[in-house]
Chains A and B, each alone.
Chain A
Amino acid sequence: MLRTTTALAVGLIATATLGWADADENELVVNGEIEITTHAPAPAYVDGLTEIYSGWRFREPDTQLTQMDDFDNPAFLAVDAAQITWDTVEGEAGKSCASCHGDVMESMKGVRATYPKWNETAGEVRTLAMQINDCRTENLKAEPYDYTSGKMTAMEALISVPSRGMPVNVAVDGPVQSTWEQGKEMYYTRYGQLELSCANCHEDNYGNYIRADHLSQGQINGFPVYRLKNTKLNQVQDRFQGCIRDTRAETFSAGSPEFVALELYVASRGNGLGVEAPSVRN
């Protein structure tokens, strides 16, 4: 009863989920003020799609609601913990993140929207996780986080918060182009004994069901994602590993060049969607 009242209060369109397989028509506004784009025209370089949809549009209304208020979103426990980390001196340099970057909500505005991106000094494509670890080892003189660890994922979530609602805008050309091409080839490669590519499910069959699983487009604008399934924040490359494992394939390592390339490519397929991280999914 309470749930029904809440759903009505935020204006979710109940009919949208009644047996309709495709993305629903609900609109995502967080905390009553951050409007987030969950549907946009597909970028021209995505041959197989004309429209792009956030995974939020494929979830049940209860799950959607949980993301619409930061007090309800369980990811914010991790965000709060990462805020403490941000302000705490760590490592031999005697610095905290805040020593150089000040208020994360100001200095990190827009950062999440453009990663993975080219790092000119290093001459490599860097994910946000790689950049966090580079900052830890080079500037803080602290130990790097394990790539998909809870601490890494929480820090990514914190850094994402000030970019919420900003359009994903990942570069696909210039120095990143060859990496992007590598990621694209992976996206269409049918891995494992089940011979499934990312595209088989997330381009050709989004909106359909694999048993109870409602297939989305596999957009990553919401990562890190709090999943109700495992009740924790999930790092995007951890999800990639799970997806490839589920094709009965030998997966790739988190942080590997292959997954960096795949992350860049998949992120670019969502150019134009709003940053949602940390989001809530099932």
Chain B
Amino acid sequence: MRFTTLTLAMTLAAGAAYANPVAPGDVSFSDTGAIAESLTGTPGDAASGAKVLADRGAGNCVACHKISSLDAAFQGTVGPSLDGVGDRWDSAQLRGLVANAKHTFPGTIMPSFYKTAGYIRPGDEFSGKAAKGDLQPLLSAEQVEDVVAFLTTLKQQ
């Protein structure tokens, strides 16, 4: 319910450009796992993306990845450091990695943040109970774009 209200509010605030993001099932990946176009049709907001990366209730990317410039305690070591990730990948490839990294790295431990089908025993969030109805992606299209916008700023060169 809360999610629905929030989504609605964001849609209203953002206007027409955000009204029809590409649905998770309609996303098209390149051979390297990149997604060429913005999922929302507009560029993301890097400052909002930084919050998604650090927030345990959102992306919580720092659970596994180190990002030195982020003020987030206990950054994990499971994934590679994201320092300088904007030098290593372009925004299309970063978008694909955030949405579903398994297209780029088959078998990777990294969860797919913009996907809603193909799961084994999907749950109702962290309740341990079976999911009710359609799953929501772990991040919204807007959040994916915000994260991508932030990641492209992580340059060392």
Residues in chain A within 8 A of chain B (CB atoms): 21, 189-196, 200-201, 204-205, 208-212, 215, 241, 244-251
Tell me the complex Cα distance, A218–B129, Å. 23
When the two chains form the complex, which single residue of B109, B128, B135 contacts A193, counting CB atoms closer than 8 Å?
A: B135
Report yes or no: A250 in contact with B123, Cβ–Cβ below 8 A: yes
Partner-contacting stretch, out of B27-35, B38-46, B69-77: B69-77
Report yes or no: A190 in contact with B120, Cβ–Cβ below 8 A: yes
When the two chains form the complex, which single residue of B64, B75, B122 contacts A192, counting CB atoms closer than 8 Å?
A: B122
Q: What residues of B have a CB within 8 angstroms of the CB of A212 in the complex?
A: 73-74
Report yes or no: B123 in contact with A208, Cβ–Cβ below 8 A: no
Report yes or no: A248 in contact with B77, Cβ–Cβ below 8 A: no
Closest to B56 in A: A211
Report yes or no: A195 in contact with B76, Cβ–Cβ below 8 A: no
- Give the Cβ gap from A229 to chain B, nearest Cβ, in Å: 15
- Any A CB within 8 A of the CB of B14: no
Closest to B72 in A: A211
Closest CB pairs A-B (n = 10):
A245-B128, A212-B74, A250-B130, A251-B128, A211-B74, A194-B111, A250-B121, A208-B77, A249-B123, A200-B109
When the two chains form the complex, which single residue of B56, B74, B121 contacts A249, counting CB atoms closer than 8 Å?
A: B121
Tell me the complex Cα distance, A21–B76, Å. 11
- Any A CB within 8 A of the CB of B62: yes
Residues in chain B within 8 A of chain A (CB atoms): 56, 60, 62-64, 73-78, 109, 111-112, 119-131, 135, 138
With contact pairs A193-B111, A211-B62 given, residues A250 and B78 touching in the complex (Cβ less than 8 Å)? no
- Give the Cβ gap from B106 to chain A, nearest Cβ, in Å: 12
Report yes or no: B76 in contact with A209, Cβ–Cβ below 8 A: yes
Report yes or no: A208 in contact with B78, Cβ–Cβ below 8 A: yes
When the two chains form the complex, which single residue of A193, A204, A210 contacts B76, counting CB atoms closer than 8 Å?
A: A210
Q: A193-B119, A195-B120 are in contact. List 5 more A-B contacts (CB 8 A).
A: A21-B77, A196-B111, A201-B109, A249-B128, A250-B128
With contact pairs A21-B77, A209-B78 given, residues A241 and B121 touching in the complex (Cβ less than 8 Å)? no
Tell me the complex Cα distance, A250–B121, Å. 5
Tell me the complex Cα distance, A215–B76, Å. 10
Q: What residues of B have a CB within 8 angstroms of the CB of A189 in the complex?
A: 120
With contact pairs A195-B119, A250-B121, A250-B131 given, residues A211 and B126 touching in the complex (Cβ less than 8 Å)? no
- Give the Cβ gap from A261 to chain B, nearest Cβ, in Å: 15
When the two chains form the complex, which single residue of A205, A211, A215, A245 contacts B123, counting CB atoms closer than 8 Å?
A: A245
Q: What are 28 A-B pairs at a CB distance below 8 A?
A: A192-B119, A192-B120, A192-B123, A193-B111, A193-B119, A193-B122, A193-B135, A195-B120, A201-B78, A208-B76, A210-B64, A211-B62, A211-B73, A212-B73, A212-B74, A215-B78, A241-B128, A245-B123, A245-B126, A247-B123, A248-B122, A249-B120, A249-B121, A250-B121, A250-B122, A250-B128, A250-B129, A250-B130
